[in-house]
Structure formats: structure tokens, C-alpha cells
Amino acid sequence: MMDVAVRRATHYDILAVTAIYGHHVTTGLASFELEPPPIVEMQRRYRELTEQGYPYLVAECDGRIVGYAYAGAYRARPAYRFSVENSVYVDPDARRTGIGRTLLVALIAECERMGFRQMVAVIGDSANAASIGLHAACGFASIGVLPAIGYKFGRWVDSVFMQRPLGQGGTTPPGHEPPPATGSAKSP
């Protein structure tokens, strides 16, 4: 495993984040976007999430951003305010080094600290064994598949839903209110 430091992202990191995400958009099914968003759009998304109080983390190795993860509103309606959806992306040159797991573990811990109670992963492509395995190893359970819900690279693609309780999950009422889910829900 690489020597990696995980920290809160800053606006200075968004150039590297944009490059990592762009690679995943153009080469894989982790995102259902068809064109990589420009840096201005990625900066807007970063600002929106962080201004709403959601965690946005980067993994840094030898001064280089090698991955990022964030949580955002699972859905916008107020009853969902204790649930978040996660996203984890790793630089293609740093895959299979443990960075994804390091980021996801840190994101889970931060979301628990903030009082969120459920984390949902929406994974593009039921054949995405790496992401499904990562989430399973971090305590997520498979909760369903939306078959052939997206169309990318000339074929129909599934969305896999996985869920993990945070803290006491749904066993007790929440102790305090996390940031309200006022933004739109993100989607793969």
C-alpha cells in the first residue's frame, strides 16, 4: 500500500479531481455522465457540497492527489436528511493500492461524526466487481439492482444499490441534525 494522507479537499485540489473524474467518465461506467464536466462545473459541484456542510476528501501521495471521495444528499426531501450517498474515485495509476478503501473508511468515519445514519452507494454497472467488493468490505450490503437503467458505450448498464448504517443506523432516533439536504441529489 502507498503512503497516503487523507484530508479535506480545498478548491486548489479540484483541477486534479477534474482530471481523475474525467478519466472515469470517458473510460468507465462508474459515472453515467457521457462527457467529462469542465473544471468550472466541478468547482461548482465542490462548492455546493461543501457549502451545505458535506464532507469532501482527497487522498494525497508524494504531493499528488491520487483519489477523492465525498458524500452528498441521498435525496433532497427533508426526511432523507440523515442519509447520504457516497462517491469514491481513484487515479487510474493508483488503482488496486488501497486508496479507495482508505478514502471510503475516512468518509464513513466523517459522516458518522457528523451524525448521518445511513450511507448509500449507487454503483454503475453490476459487473463493477472492484467497487462492489470495496463497498462490501466496508460493511455495505447489496439492496438491489436497477437493470438496464442507463445506456453508455453502446450498451445498457445496471445500477447497483448498496447501503451501510452509520453509527446506530436506524436503531435509535438521531441525536442531532446534520446539514439539511437542500441540494439536488447526485447521481452516477
DSSP labels, 55-90: -EEEEEETTEEEEEEEEEES-SSGGGTTEEEEEEEE
- Tens digits of per-residue pLDDT, 155-165? 999 999 999 99
Which pLDDT belongs to residue 175?
A: 76
Is 16 part of a structural domain of the chain?
A: yes
Cα dihedral 160, 166, 169, 173 in deg (nearest 10): -130
| Confidence band for 188, pLDDT divided at 50, 70 and 90 | very low
**pLDDT tens, residue by residue, 168-180:** 999 999 875 555 5
Per-residue pLDDT of 8-67, as tens digits, reads 999 999 999 999 999 999 999 999 999 999 999 999 999 999 999 999 999 999 999 999
Instruction: Note whether residue 70 is domain-resident.
Output: yes
Per the CB < 8 A criterion, the answer to whether 121 and 186 are in contact is: no
The answer to whether the CB of 37 falls within 8 A of the CB of 55 is no
Measured between alpha carbons, how far is 118 from 135 in angstroms, rounded to an integer?
A: 13
125 domain residue, yes or no: yes
Helices marked H in 86-126 — which ranges? 99-113
Give the CATH number of the domain where residue 36 resides: 3.40.630.30
In this model, does residue 127 exceed pLDDT 90? yes
186 falls within a domain: no
Cell 462517491 maps to which residue? 87
Domain presence at residue 183: no
Q: Which residues pair with 58 in a beta bridge?
A: 7, 68
Domain extent for 38: 5-165
pLDDT in tens, 71-120: 999 999 999 999 999 999 999 998 888 999 999 999 999 999 999 999 99
